[in-house]
Amino acid sequence: MKYTMDNIAMYVPVTLRTDCLKNFIDSIRLFYPNLPVFIIDNCGKYKNLGKMEEFKDLPVKFIKLNNKNPIPLTKIQWLIGLDLFCEYEALIFSADDIVFTNPGFVEKALRMLNNGDQIVSLSTDKDPVAYLYTFEFNENVGFNIELKGKDSTDTDIINAVKSYYGKFPMIGRTWKSGPTKGAWMSEYLVHYNGGEDINLLLKNIGIDPGNRTSKDPNRKKIRSIK
């Protein structure tokens, strides 16, 4: 199997917040105007909070999940990998609060897939905000489906990948401070940790987001800021 621009797609789960979505879409379309991009509406019955209707005219496709309440990111990844995108050979997952800053990241990640990697971080191996992965990765590793909160979810993904492959292949080098307070950047993107906190939004509608790991003593090791 050869992975090319013609047999991959990108998907972006959006849970309740859309404050960074337009900047994200503008950035990906600047560098990859023809890449299939799917916005996954994970707002459930809380569509007014999500304000997804405001973005219907943007140059992407929208998929509305058939769920009453927002569901965990890792479960979304599992459902999407199995059910929604079987016409593609590999998928790019991306968070909704990043902006791509330089071209060439998809081509570079594709070369790594074609050389044998099954998942490639488009940022670093410390904070998986965007990555290209194959369906073989889903079968070999997959993700847990517990709702643990974002930081724990990131840690689970990192640990699962490194446990199976011994490393998390990446193209983004290291994180460094970004252009605004709280933002971080790598070679190809800026992660703004954008807008309203999803866990707080979930709590406000009565959904327990689980324990976050901001006080975890390993958090600095996970971030590995430079």
Sketch out the chain's domains with CATH numbers: 5-223 (3.90.550.10)
CB 123 within 8 A of CB 130: yes
| pLDDT attached to residue 9 | 93
CB 40 within 8 A of CB 80: yes
Which residue spans within the chain are E strands per DSSP? Answer: 8-14, 37-41, 61-64, 90-94, 98-100, 119-121, 130-134, 176-177, 184-185, 189-191
In this prediction, residues 165-174 reach a mean pLDDT of: 88
CA–CA dist 17, 128 (Å, integer): 19
In this prediction, residues 123-141 reach a mean pLDDT of: 83
Q: Given a cut of 60, is residue 218 above it in pLDDT?
A: no
- The residue type found at 171 is I
Q: Specify the pTM.
A: 0.79
All residues at 6 or more sequence positions from 156 whose CB lies less than 8 Å from its CB, including other chains: 74, 143, 144, 148
CB 130 within 8 A of CB 94: yes
Q: Given a cut of 70, is residue 119 above it in pLDDT?
A: yes
184 or 112: which carries more pLDDT confidence?
112
| Reported confidence tier of residue 198, pLDDT bands at 50, 70, 90 | low
In this prediction, residues 13-35 reach a mean pLDDT of: 86
Listed range (43-57, 102-116, 158-172) with the worst mean pLDDT: 43-57
